[in-house]
Amino acid sequence: MSAIGFVGLGIMGEGMAARLLSEGVAGSDDKPLVIWNRTGSKCQALVEKFPSMKVIVKDTAREVVQECGITYCMLSTPEASKAVFEGDDGVLAGVTEGKSIVDCATLAELDMQRMSEAVMAKAG
């Protein structure tokens, strides 16, 4: 399975994830969209918006990353990004060799470098 992951379904994230589905980039049986959000109802809303698409909701960001070759992250604040990235069940906890993380949040350059180095240290 070549699943695509998405973590963070706020105003920007929901629009980005919806575009992946509406354009057929993700959402098929062989390339599902695997999602997680801190507020679970936002995941359910996306599933309901695209009932014919394959959208899988996970309980943690770690599970999304574990299941997907590439995971997009779009969190609302630097604090949210750090918490979701570094938490016990966060993005970094799911990174193994060959995983790609694309963080789309507006973060300070040093924070982005630190996150990138942490992913690369795990062979991601």
CATH of 4-121, one of 3.40.605.10, 3.20.140.10, 3.40.50.300, 3.40.50.720: 3.40.50.720
pLDDT at residue 106 in the model = 86
Average pLDDT, the chain: 95
Instruction: Give whole-number Cα distances, 49 to 15, 17, 43, 52, 75, in Å.
Output: 12, 11, 10, 9, 21
pLDDT at residue 1 in the model = 55
Residue ranges, the chain, pLDDT below 50: none
> Which of 3, 1, 110 lies closest to 56, judged by CA?
3
pLDDT at residue 18 in the model = 99
pTM, rounded to two decimals: 0.94
pLDDT at residue 31 in the model = 98
